[in-house]
Amino acid sequence: MPELSKRSTAEVLDDHLRLRAAGNVEDDIERNYAPDVVVMTARGMKKGHGAVRAFAEILKEHVPHSYEFPIKLIEGPFAFIEWRAREPGRSVEDGADSFVIQDGKIVFQSIHYSLQETMPE
């Protein structure tokens, strides 16, 4: 693995998605997020690793499994993903996260999704 500060935007984003898929939030935070990261959502804005943990917990309560990433765009320090998550009784069809990545760390993330109640399978 490249030195953390020398990783490209794509490397950081891919590592973030891989660690989250594995359920390893703490390693993701340590390796991929700046200590003063800014996280913005419709629920508000928070800063720091505690904000990342808090929003990860909320998302895990809503849809803990089965993520798909139909769109992943990267340009310089900027990244965007569109995502879906489905499980019996609920789904997210419109997930969208934006990132700013500098010096091998996520310094800004915006998160948006709508939780939909669905028929149980």
Question: Mind listing the pLDDT tens digit for each residue in 95-116?
Answer: 999 999 999 999 999 999 998 8
What pLDDT is stored for residue 118 in this prediction?
74
Using one digit for the tens of pLDDT, what is the confidence trace for 38-94?
999 998 999 999 999 999 888 888 776 678 999 999 999 999 999 998 888 888 999
Rounded-to-integer distance, Cα 118 and Cα 30, Å: 35
Buried/exposed code over 51-77 (b: 16+ C-beta within 10 A; e: otherwise): bbeebbeebeeebeeebeeeeeebeeb
Q: Is 53 helix (H, G, I), strand (E, B) or coil?
A: helix
What pLDDT is stored for residue 65 in this prediction?
67
Asked whether residue 121 carries a pLDDT value surpassing 70, the answer given is: no
- Under the banding of pLDDT at 50, 70 and 90, the label for residue 21 is confident
Rounded-to-integer distance, Cα 19 and Cα 23, Å: 6
Phi, psi of 113, deg, nearest 5: -165, 160
Rounded-to-integer distance, Cα 46 and Cα 108, Å: 10
Predicted TM-score (pTM) of the model is: 0.89
Q: Where are the domains of the chain?
A: 4-117
Rounded-to-integer distance, Cα 102 and Cα 66, Å: 29
The reply to whether CATH 3.90.550.10 applies to domain 4-117 is no
- Under the banding of pLDDT at 50, 70 and 90, the label for residue 31 is very high
CA-wise closest residue to 99 among 51, 43, 38: 38
